[in-house]
Amino acid sequence: MTTAVQPARREVPPKPPRARIQVIGWIVAALVVAAHAVAWNATEISLSKLVEGATGMGEFLSEAIPPELDPEVLGESASAAVETLWIGMLGTTLSIPASLLLALLAARGTAAGWIYQAARGLLSFLRAVPDVVFALIFVTAVGLGPFPGVLALVFHNVGVMGKLWAETLEDADPGPAQALRSAGAGRIQVAAHALLPVVTPQMVGLLLYRFDVNVRSSLVLGLVGAGGIGFLINQSIQLFQFDEMLTHILVVLVLIVAVDQLSALIRRLLGSTS
């Protein structure tokens, strides 16, 4: 007569005492408050200075309002805004090949060993260097204008997009990839037939998000001489032409709203076809 084997009982670890949890919570809260106090002093935040500067801010606004609506100024602003759009677009699209390659090399399902570590390190470096720093470097190398802005966005965007796409590949459903590996498929075949078709909608969505961000970034790059409407804003501030500055800012607002609407339209079209 056989006897049924009883499964081994696992002891449930005891819960930490409630008092201990409360003490840890108070310690964490105290550390957060202390960090904010140190940061407040280090950044020299002063509400009194803000109140004292209200008069100067009022004078600034009085000189900026109403905006300059001269047709020549509007035409120059619209032309620079279109240039800003081109910088953001090219900075996004030209980074796609390198971003995709590094994403495949930096995803655990498609790369391993030193290749994986090297790709991750390169993406971290490109992501850690701000696009403004890249812009300053390329302005020194190739001169003023939109070209250094495009180069700066390409380099920085490769780091960001490569990481986002690599994480998307790693989060993909492992079932199809495992089935292909069991059938003898290589890493390239697994990526082409099992991973990329599954995650393409997510990757396109991330690409549209980065396009939106890059258009905004190209505005900032113009402040350091990398072309676009940011250059006109900086020029207006230096010449104390605050009414023209406000005109350029309003044109930027129209540009950003148009880009947002375009991105939303593309997402809706992709959602309806999927």
What Cα–Cα distance (Å) separates residue 61 from each residue in 36, 51, 66, 125, 161? 32, 16, 9, 41, 39
115-165 pLDDT, tens per residue? 888 988 999 999 999 889 999 999 888 888 889 989 999 999 999 999 999
Determine whether 22 is exposed, middle or buried from the number of CB atoms within 10 Å of its CB (0-12, 13-18, 19+).
exposed
Neighbours of 94 (CB within 10 A): 16
Is it the case that residue 16 has pLDDT exceeding 70? no
For residues 185 and 40, the model is more confident at 40
**pLDDT band at residue 114 under the 50/70/90 scheme:** confident
- What's the pLDDT at 153? 92
For residue 188, what are the contacts with CB-CB under 8 A and spacing of at least 6?
none
Please determine, for residue 8, whether its predicted confidence score (pLDDT) is greater than 70. Answer: no
CA distance 164 to 181: 24
Q: Measured between alpha carbons, how far is 159 from 213 in angstroms, rounded to an integer? A: 14
Q: For the structural domain made of 70-273, what CATH number should be given?
A: 1.10.3720.10
Please classify residue 193 by burial: count the beta carbons closer than 10 Å to its beta carbon, then call 0-12 exposed, 13-18 middle and 19+ buried: middle
Contact (Cβ atoms closer than 8 angstroms) between residue 186 and residue 104: no
pTM value? 0.77
**Which among 12-16, 66-70, 183-187, 220-224 has the top mean pLDDT?**
220-224
Q: Which of 172, 160, 167 is nearest to 210 (CA)?
A: 160
Contact 165, 99 (CB under 8 A): yes
Average pLDDT of the chain to the nearest whole number:
82
> What residue type is 206 in one-letter code?
L
d(CA 29, CA 37): 12
**Which pLDDT does position 263 carry in this prediction?**
82
Q: For residues 39-56, give the mean pLDDT.
A: 80
* C-alpha to C-alpha distance for 32 and 14, rounded to whole angstroms: 29
